[in-house]
């Protein structure tokens, strides 16, 4: 044998596992350069050096059909390449049955190294190798983008879903708002997570499983902190403020106090309030002081409840995650 014309072809499937089979084509002649013809037995081997070196793989006594010198065969079948990674230079040797190894050995061309694409080497794919807009969301595995992969100050509100703020708040959160229920739900991006605090039943909600089947009725109510504390006041010693438990209603009350009056022709101070001056002295136990006013020239502020100055808002509570 004197001459070999050869080429390497590897076929890869678009889907599925890449077959580790190498297509080898050659041209075989005898010592007189006459093309061989017929069926021949050939042993194929792979080494890590052009001569000597380590034997990495062999396929012994493979039957090859030769037509006017030309032949084609699949290396790696039926004898698998095993764990060969094709990540370095390999050399192929051919030994026809009854003859010596053909020299020189044949260095594998780069096409054979496509086997390495099955598991690309670490760091082999760099940024310039990836086309713009080539990586889509479906190519990313779940939970693969962590906070450490996001540059600071790069996420704008336009990048967030409408309901992200609502999702971050726990069930039972109460928010005051000037918006109507429909406007509020639109801004929160959900119609099932928030309801007005009007005492309605929310059976079947996350809130019901955690707190109770009805939300608090905050119509006309002020909010205060739960629990109690005792504080020292400027006059009268200590006062204990008791907020009770969450969601418990407390009726309006007036702090216990007393008034002291002096009767006569002058205006009568009473607990810091000024009352209209009495025109005559009296010994009657029943005295009508009139309606309280702010100062001598104030105005009437009668009401059916005790309350400070206030502005009304709508209260909403989160009932579902």
Residue of 49, 37, 45 whose CA lies nearest to 62: 45
Q: Are residues 67 and 187 in the same domain?
A: no
Q: Is the pLDDT of residue 81 over 80?
A: yes
Residue 8 binned pLDDT confidence (cut-offs 50, 70, 90): very low
Of 119, 149, 174, the domain-final residue: 119
pLDDT at 152: 87
Q: What is the CATH number of the domain that holds 47?
A: 2.60.40
**CA–CA separation, 59 vs 79, rounded Å?**
6
The pLDDT value recorded for residue 261 is 55
In the predicted structure, residue 14 carries a pLDDT above the cut 50: no
Q: Is residue 196 part of a domain?
A: yes
Tens of pLDDT along 15-38? 345 567 888 888 888 888 899 999
Residue 273's pLDDT band (cuts 50, 70, 90): very low
Residues 32 and 91 placed together within one structural domain of the fold: yes
- What share of the chain has pLDDT > 70, as a percent? 75
Predicted confidence at residue 120, as pLDDT, reads 66
Same domain, 113 and 175: no
Same-domain check for residues 317 and 203: yes
Question: Distance between CA 233 and CA 90 in Å, rounded?
Answer: 92
Band the pLDDT of 281: cuts 50, 70, 90: very low
Of the pLDDT bands very low, low, confident and very high (cuts 50, 70, 90), residue 115 is low
Examine the domain organization and report whether 98 and 18 are in the same domain: yes
> What domain range includes position 34?
7-119
- For residue 205, tell me if it sits in a domain: yes
Domain membership flag for residue 223: yes
Residues 317 and 204 placed together within one structural domain of the fold? yes
**Comparing 236 with 144, which gets the higher pLDDT?**
144
Identify the domain boundary among 91, 119, 147. 119
Domain co-membership, 114 together with 177: no
State how many domains the chain has.
2
Compute how many other C-beta atoms are within 10 angstroms of the C-beta atom of residue 111: 13
Domain boundary among 101, 119, 137: 119
Average pLDDT over residues 131-144: 84
Q: Do residues 114 and 164 both lie within one domain? A: no
- Average pLDDT of the residues in 307-318: 90
Mean local confidence (pLDDT), 148-158: 82
The closest of 56, 53, 74, 77 to 65, measured between CA atoms, is 74
Q: What is the pLDDT of residue 113?
A: 57
Across the chain, what does the average pLDDT equal? 80
Q: Do 180 and 75 belong to one domain?
A: no
Q: Is 138 a domain residue?
A: no
- In 3D space, the residue among 10, 78, 88 whose CA is nearest the CA of residue 56 turns out to be 88
Q: Are residues 169 and 107 in the same domain?
A: no
Q: Is the pLDDT of residue 159 over 80?
A: no
274 within domain boundaries: no
Alpha-carbon span 262 to 268, nearest angstrom: 6
Specify whether 82 is located in the same domain as 223.
no
Same domain, 171 and 68: no
């Amino acid at each position: 044998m004197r001459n070999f014309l050869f080429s390497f072809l590897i076929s890869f499937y678009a889907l599925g596992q890449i077959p580790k089979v190498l297509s080898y084509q050659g041209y075989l002649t005898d010592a007189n350069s006459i093309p061989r013809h017929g069926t021949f037995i050939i042993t194929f081997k792979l080494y890590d050096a052009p001569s000597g070196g380590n034997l990495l793989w062999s396929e012994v006594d493979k039957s090859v059909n030769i037509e006017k010198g030309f032949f084609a065969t699949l290396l790696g079948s039926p004898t698998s390449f095993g764990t060969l990674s094709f990540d370095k230079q390999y050399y192929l040797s051919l030994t026809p049955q009854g003859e010596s190894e053909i020299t020189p050995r044949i260095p594998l061309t780069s096409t054979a190294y496509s086997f390495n694409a099955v598991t690309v080497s670490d760091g082999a794919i760099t940024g310039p190798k990836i086309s713009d807009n080539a990586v889509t969301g479906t190519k990313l595995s779940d939970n693969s983008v962590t906070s450490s992969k996001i540059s600071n100050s790069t996420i704008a509100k336009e990048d967030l879903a409408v309901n992200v703020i609502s999702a971050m708040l726990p069930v039972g959160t109460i928010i005051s708002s000037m918006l109507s229920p429909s406007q509020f739900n639109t801004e929160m991006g959900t119609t099932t997570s928030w309801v007005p605090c009007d005492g309605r039943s929310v059976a079947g909600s996350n809130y019901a499983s955690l707190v109770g089947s009805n939300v608090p009725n905050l119509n006309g109510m002020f909010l205060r902190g739960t629990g109690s504390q005792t504080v020292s006041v400027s006059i009268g010693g200590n006062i204990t403020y008791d907020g009770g438990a969450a969601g418990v209603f407390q009726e309006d009350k007036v702090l216990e106090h007393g008034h002291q009056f002096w009767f006569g022709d002058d205006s009568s101070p009473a607990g810091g309030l000024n009352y209209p001056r009495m025109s005559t002295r009296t010994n009657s136990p029943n005295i009508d002081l009139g309606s309280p006013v702010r100062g001598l020239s104030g105005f009437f502020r009668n009401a059916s409840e005790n309350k400070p100055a206030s502005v009304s808002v709508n209260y909403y509570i989160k009932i579902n995650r």
